[in-house]
Amino acid sequence: MPVKLIIANKAYSSWSLRPWILLAAFGIPFEEVVIPMNRPDTKKKMLKYAPTGKVPSLQDGEVSVYESISVIEYIAEKYPKKAIWPKNKKARAHARSLSAEMHASFQALRQHCPTVFRRPVQKRELTPEAAADVARIEAAWAHARKNFGKGGPFLFGKFCAADAMFAPVVNRLHTYDVPVSKATRAYMDAIMELPAWKAWIHDAHKEKWSIEKYDTI
């Protein structure tokens, strides 16, 4: 039986994209359950799957996992033959560090540039705090690409969990037209070329639910 991934609106849910793009990019079959946000029954529905009442979460038979990073770890453990994390120990340690940093940081950028996957590209000047987050992200990406990225266009060469963790940031930098280096842009383009990325954006545009405060952001 395929694993079941519980997510929110593809138009707005940055956390949901992470395990979704990982499963899709690795060609792992999964069933998708979408719980639309901002509805009277949203919390109740999400609580059925995770005690936080948030998504993403994953169900694998009797096993439940929540928090995007834990969901990704679970997927990596379930499919050990897939290079969800880099095979090299040093690269893997760094990929985990970057992923944890992404999980816990960059609040200023998140607040200033909320994720809307169907937002038209429209420039927004950054606050100094959001600009500092972008500077750290660019430095982190450049460091990973230089030290571990020889085998392909992604942070650790081939697409892996760390790329999945940063994928929503690619959308923020792109849709808010944030000025970035050529190398950062090339990395963003590599993510945006993934069929899994394109499928998510396509679905986000097709969703009928609309939360006005996000769609006019």
Ligand X SMILES: N[C@@H](CCC(=O)N[C@@H](CS)C(=O)NCC(=O)O)C(=O)O
Nearest residue to 192 (alpha-carbon basis) of 169, 211, 212, 216:
169
C-beta of 114 vs 153, nearer to ligand X: 114
Beta strands, E only, 79-187: none
Burial readout 114-131 (b: 16 or more C-beta within 10 A, e: otherwise):
bbbbbbeeeeeebeeebb
Least distance between ligand X and beta carbon 50 (Å): 8
Residue 15 or 148: which CB sits closer to ligand X?
Answer: 15
Between 41 and 89, name the residue whose CB sits nearer to ligand X. Answer: 41
Site for ligand X in 51-70 (CB under 6 A): 54-56, 67-68
- Measured CA to CA, the distance from residue 4 to residue 113 in angstroms comes to 30
Burial of 71 (0-12, 13-18, 19+ CB in 10 A): buried
Q: Which stretch binds ligand X (CB under 6 A): 14-22, 75-83, 157-165, 171-179?
A: 14-22
| 105 in contact with ligand X (CB under 6 A) | no
Work out which of 3, 37, 113, 134 binds ligand X, going by CB under 6 A: 37
How far does Cα 78 stand from its chain's mean position? Answer: 20
d(CA 216, CA 166): 24
Nearer Cβ to ligand X, position 66 or 159? Answer: 66
Which residues contribute to the site for ligand X (CB under 6 A)?
8, 13-16, 37, 42-43, 46, 54-56, 67-68
